[in-house]
């Protein structure tokens, strides 16, 4: 998340929203604990609504102390949309010289609504074929039974 100078660096996205609707924002911040090196000891991401000069929504700090390995921590926050679009900024909140934050799996959903998975067509087809095969086999076994 940066160019090495840590002077206002990050990523920005504008998304369509419905005014008055509450949204849940979840994202992962990666940290490499490196107290004597270039990566520092924590990774902080400041989340802003409405652009760089917007409102601070969250300050997410991953303080993992596993040396030399990037570890991820999930953060979740919510907000109520005020317009038909909302700009989200994820800005590096680390001190100068430490711009090695990781940001991944950013998900924005309407609060209280879980995603509804669609059934896989091939899975349903496969289950149907197995059911027809078992039903047909059961019928074939009955027809071969000796009559008494």
Chain-centre distance of CA 53, in angstroms?
25
Say if pTM beats, i.e. exceeds, 0.75: no
140 in a domain, yes or no? Answer: no
Give the domain range for residue 49: 10-116
What is the band of 145 on the pLDDT scale with cuts at 50, 70, 90?
Answer: low
What is the band of 3 on the pLDDT scale with cuts at 50, 70, 90?
Answer: very low
What is the band of 122 on the pLDDT scale with cuts at 50, 70, 90?
Answer: very low
What CATH number does residue 55 fall under? 2.60.120.260
Q: Specify the pLDDT at position 80.
A: 94
3-state SS class at 130: helix
Name the token pair of 83: 């317009």
135 in a domain, yes or no? Answer: no
52 in a domain, yes or no? Answer: yes
What is the band of 128 on the pLDDT scale with cuts at 50, 70, 90?
Answer: low
Domain count, the chain: 1
144 in a domain, yes or no? Answer: no
Beta-bridge partner residues of 31: 71
pLDDT digits (tens, 9 = 90+) for 40-71: 888 999 999 987 778 999 999 999 888 888 89
Alpha carbons 31 and 41: distance in angstroms, whole number? 8
- Hey, what's the torsion of the CAs at 83, 89, 90, 92, to 10 degrees? -150
């Amino acid at each position: 998340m940066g160019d090495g100078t840590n002077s206002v660096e990050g990523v920005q996205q504008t998304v369509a929203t419905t005014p008055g609707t509450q949204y849940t924002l979840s994202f992962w911040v990666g940290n490499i604990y490196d107290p004597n090196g270039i990566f520092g000891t924590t990774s902080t991401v400041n989340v802003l609504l409405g652009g760089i000069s917007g409102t601070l929504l969250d300050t997410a700090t991953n303080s993992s102390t596993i040396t030399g390995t990037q570890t991820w921590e999930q953060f979740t926050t919510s907000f109520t949309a005020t317009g038909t679009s909302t700009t989200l900024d994820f800005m590096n909140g680390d001190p100068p010289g430490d711009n090695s934050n990781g940001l991944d799996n950013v998900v924005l959903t309407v609060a209280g609504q879980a995603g509804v998975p669609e059934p896989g067509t091939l899975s349903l087809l496969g289950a149907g074929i197995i059911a027809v095969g078992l039903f047909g086999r059961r019928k074939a076994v009955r027809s071969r039974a000796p009559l008494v």
